[in-house]
Amino acid sequence: MSKKKWIIKYDPLAGTGATGPQGPQGPPGSVDLPLSSDDVDYNGQTLTEVLDELLYTPLTINSFSANPSTYEKGQVLTSVALLWTYNKAVESQTITGTDVVSPSLLVGDRNKVVTLSNVAVNTVITLTADDVVADDNAAITRTVTLQFLNKLYWGKGVIPGAVNSAFILALSNSELKSSRTKSFSIDASTGEYIWFALPEAYGLPSFLTNGFNGGFQLHSTISLTNASGHTENYRVYRTTNHSLGLTFVDVE
């Protein structure tokens, strides 16, 4: 069977065919091309609005922190340094809280030293931000809490004439804690005991000494006034034996 090969060529100088039907009449006036997305309507919205919704990235507060955020009971705060970040630019932002003097913020601010009205108890500070004030997406918030805690105290020493606030505050180690759990090591020399003091409100502790249960005994319960002037009842423990050398202690 023979095959025929057809080649179609376009010649702009060749004659034209019959004229096709006329298209529908357009709107009056001229239309500039290309069109703006604000000039195109889609289901009652401009194309710009539709695209903005489809491509919108929600605002998030990546971080919001206070430096520092924990304090010893008895301290009175008149200011705190705050630091925060977003995933995008914002149009508005505010900082509020009980006894917090709301600062004047620029939209580009990402840190601020905020004035406080003599804060001495746990206080929540709120950051509120909005990326587009005029849209339907609500402003978002994030909080940071200023906490006031008691300390745990530990160290080594001989049995003093009186176990009192001065003796406990003179121990070589302390840490602000919201619970009694702690792990530490102490090298107790000849005649020295290992001491551990915690708020009575933290409950009864259990001790693991060099991997063995026990090893500590309750020496006394005292009314302790800390370095910031706050008074709290403390239980004071010491090792049953002295001169233990390097000792590893876990408190639970």
Buried b (16+ CB within 10 A) or exposed e, 72-85: bbbeebeebebebe
Q: How many CA atoms lie within 13 A of 231 on its CB side?
A: 3
pLDDT over 70, % of the chain: 81
Q: How many CA atoms lie within 13 A of 101 on its CB side?
A: 13
29 or 104, which is more confident: 104
The pLDDT score that the predictor gives to residue 78 is 98
Buried b (16+ CB within 10 A) or exposed e, 199-224: beebeebebbbeeeeebbeebeebeb
* Token representation of residue 89: 């630019």
Q: Does pLDDT of 207 surpass 60?
A: yes
pLDDT, the chain, mean: 90
Domain 61-148 falls in which CATH fold? Answer: Immunoglobulin-like (2.60.40)
Q: How confident is the model at residue 15 (pLDDT cuts 50, 70, 90)?
A: low
Q: What is the pLDDT of residues 89-111, one digit of tens each?
A: 999 999 999 999 999 999 999 99
> By mean pLDDT, which of 28-37, 70-79, 123-132, 157-166 is the weakest?
28-37
What sections of 112-185 are H helices per DSSP? 165-169
Q: What is the pLDDT of residues 129-177, one digit of tens each?
A: 999 998 888 999 999 999 999 999 999 999 999 999 999 999 999 999 9
The pLDDT score that the predictor gives to residue 14 is 62
- Which residues make up the CATH 2.60.40 domain(s) of the chain? 61-148
The pLDDT score that the predictor gives to residue 98 is 97
Q: How confident is the model at residue 23 (pLDDT cuts 50, 70, 90)?
A: low
Average of pLDDT values for 105-118?
98
Q: How confident is the model at residue 249 (pLDDT cuts 50, 70, 90)?
A: very high
Q: What is the pLDDT of residues 55-72, one digit of tens each?
A: 789 999 999 999 999 999
The pLDDT score that the predictor gives to residue 32 is 63
Average of pLDDT values for 19-31?
66
Q: How confident is the model at residue 229 (pLDDT cuts 50, 70, 90)?
A: very high
| Phi, psi for 123 (deg, rounded to 5) | -135, 135
Measured between alpha carbons, how far is 173 from 190 in angstroms, rounded to an integer? 20
Q: What is the CA radius of gyration of the chain?
A: 37
Strands 140-157 and 70-72 turn out to be: parallel
Q: How confident is the model at residue 16 (pLDDT cuts 50, 70, 90)?
A: low
What sections of 96-245 are H helices per DSSP? 165-169
